[in-house]
Structure 1
C-alpha cells in the first residue's frame, strides 16, 4: 500500500491506511530551510485535548521539558534534532523530531491530539516559518517501517512562529488523522495558552559556581544528560518557557559507544582465545554472559535464561527493569550462523509480544526486527563481526542493543526505519513512483528534446536498470 498524501484540511482513518487503532504509531516531523537561512531551533510539541479542545491539566502538554504524558505514558516525544542544517537532500527526506503513540493506552476522555512545531526564541532572532522551504508530518507503522500517511507543505507559511501541523482525533469508534497546517504567531507560549495550559511566571535562577553544583550532587557525574557548564541552568526564553539545555540523543549515544568500545577491547583477547581454542557451547555461554554484563551493561537479574512460552524456548531474554525487550538465540562460539536459526527466537518473541531478536555465536551478532503483521517474520537490521576489529560502527551498533540503548528505544527504532526505508523493495517502489518517473521524463526532455510516455520510461527502468522480470 502506497503512503496516503493528504492536502491541507484532508483527513483519513488510521485503520483504512493500514494502522491498527490498538497498536503503536510513529509520528515523524521534519523541515528544510530556504537557502542562506540562519540555523533554526525548532521544537515539536503535542497537546492532549478533551472534547472542549483544551488540555485537562498541564500534564497534557508534551514538549522538550515534559517528553511523556502524565496519564498512562501513551505518547512520548522521542528524539532531539539529530540532523544538522545544510544537507538539503537529507533535510527534505528525514524526520527531525518524532513521537511514539500507543493507541492501546490512550485514556477514554482524550478526544484529540494536536501535533505542533514552534520556533524557539523566534522574536529576538527574527525567524519565522516563512524561512522554511518545507515542513512535513507523517505516520509510520513501526511494525513494518512503512509510511502510511503524510502531510507535506511547501512554501505555505510566512510570518508564523508556531504551526499546528496535524491532529489525531476520535471519530466514533475509530481514530483519524487530519492535515491541519494552521499557523500562528507568539511561539510555543501563545500556542500552549490557546490550548488551556497554565504557564508559571519565569523566575531566572541565581547562577551558581560549578564547584557548588558538583558538591550538591547535581553535576554530570550523577548521570544527568546535561552539557558541562549548564548542568542545572535553564536558558531563559522570551516565550516564558525555560528550556533545559540537554545533550542531544546523538551526543549521549556517541559517549556510550566510546564506553562500549573500551569495555569490549578489554574482553576481546579472551573472546579471540576462546574462538581459537574452539571451546564448547557451555564455555561459549560463559563468554557471552560476560559480554552481556561487562560490555552491554545488563545486570544478572536482567538476563533470563532458558525461558519458555507456549512450547517455544529462548536461550536468553533481556529484561531491563523487568520488561522483556529482546530474545537471544545463542550458538557455540564461531559456529556458522544462518537466518533459519533465528526462527526459535522469533517464535518466542511473537508469542511474548517482543519485537527484537538477536542471533549470536559470541563473535558475530545479528539484530532482527520481529514483525507480526501478516505472519511472524524476522528482518535483519545489522550484523557485527568482532573478528574484523572494533570500529566506530561496531561500537555504535552494540550500543544500540546495550541496556542503555535498548531502553532508550528511539535510536534503535530509527535505525530500523532507515534499514526498512533503504531495503531493495522500498527503493524499487520509490524509483517506480510516478513523481520520480515524471522527473526522469523532464530531464530526458531537457537533455534529448523528446517527450516520452511514463509507461515507456517505467518499462525501460524495470527492464534495463532494475532487471525486473
Structure 2
C-alpha cells in the first residue's frame, strides 16, 4: 500500500524496500473546465543535480526533446500533450543502481508549455500528483498529491529523489515558480 506524503515530508525509499532498483515515477494532472479556450500542454522535466544542486551537463536535463541521460539510467517515456484520461500523464523510468555517482539529486518538475502566451497558470490545474512505483511488481510505494495551493505559478518542483548515506530518499517539495521553465533551468544551473 502506498504511503501518502504531505508537502515537506521526506521518506526513505530504498532502505524500507531492500533490493529496489527499477522504479517508475508517474506524474499526472487535470485542467479545470474553464481554460481560456487554449489547449493546455503540461510537461515533465527532470534535473539530475550534483551535491550543490546544479546540473553539470546538459545531458542531465531530461525533457521531451532529451529523453534520457548519458547512460540511460533515467528515461522520459514521452510527452503527453493533452493530459486527458485516467492515470499518469507522463512517466520517468529510473534504474537507481545505475544512476551516475555524481548525481546526488533527481528533481521532478512540471511546467506549462507557452504559459505566458496562452495566459495559463497552475491555478487552472487540479489533481496534480507524483507517485513512485516498483517496476518489478507494479506496486505503488509513494504518492504525493500537490493540492490546490497554486495561483499564478507556471512551473512546479513536485519532488526530489536524493541520496543519503548510500540510500535513496524522496522529498515532497510542491514549490511553485512564477517564471516556469526559465526559472527552473536558471536555479538548477543551466542557461
Taking structure 2 as the reference length, what is the TM-score of the superposition? 0.93
Question: Match of 1:113?
Answer: 106
> In structure 2, what is the Cα distance between the partners aligned to 1:40 and 1:18?
37
1:155 to partner: Cα distance: 1.1
Q: Which runs of 5+ in 2 are unaligned?
A: none
Question: Match of 2:145?
Answer: 152
Question: Match of 1:48?
Answer: 48
Question: Match of 1:61?
Answer: 61
CA-to-partner distance for each residue in 1:136-168, whole Å, 9 max, x for gaps? 000001111110001102211111101000000
Give the match's secondary structure for 1:43. Answer: strand
CA-to-partner distance for each residue in 1:392-429, whole Å, 9 max, x for gaps? xxxxxxxxxxxxxxxxxxxxxxxxxxxxxxxxxxxxxx
Q: Displaced runs of 4+ in structure 1, greater than 6 A? A: none
1:47 to partner: Cα distance: 0.4
Checking the alignment, whether the CA contact within 8 Å between 1:161 and 1:185 is kept in structure 2 is yes
1:19 to partner: Cα distance: 6.2
**Structure with a larger share of its residues in helix:** 1
Find the structure with the greater CA-based Rg.
1
> 1:298-309 maps to which residues of 2 (within 5 A)?
none
How has the CA–CA distance of structure 1 residues 84 and 54 changed in structure 2, closer, same or farther, with 3 Å as cutoff? closer
> In structure 1, what is the Cα distance between the partners aligned to 2:129 and 2:18?
19
Taking structure 1 as the reference length, what is the TM-score of the superposition? 0.39
Question: Match of 1:294?
Answer: none
User: Which has the bigger relative contact order, CA under 8 A and spacing at least 6?
Assistant: 2
Question: Match of 2:14?
Answer: 15
Aligned length, in residue pairs: 189
Q: Which runs of 5+ in 1 are unaligned?
A: 199-469
Question: Match of 1:322?
Answer: none
Aligned-pair Cα RMSD in Å? 1.6
> In structure 2, what is the Cα distance between the partners aligned to 1:84 and 1:140?
20
Checking the alignment, whether the CA contact within 8 Å between 1:28 and 1:139 is kept in structure 2 is yes
1:56 to partner: Cα distance: 1.1
Checking the alignment, whether the CA contact within 8 Å between 1:4 and 1:17 is kept in structure 2 is no
> In structure 2, what is the Cα distance between the partners aligned to 1:61 and 1:112?
12
CA-to-partner distance for each residue in 1:194-249, whole Å, 9 max, x for gaps? 11112xxxxxxxxxxxxxxxxxxxxxxxxxxxxxxxxxxxxxxxxxxxxxxxxxxx
> In structure 2, what is the Cα distance between the partners aligned to 1:53 and 1:67?
21
Give the match's secondary structure for 1:167. Answer: strand
> In structure 2, what is the Cα distance between the partners aligned to 1:129 and 1:177?
23
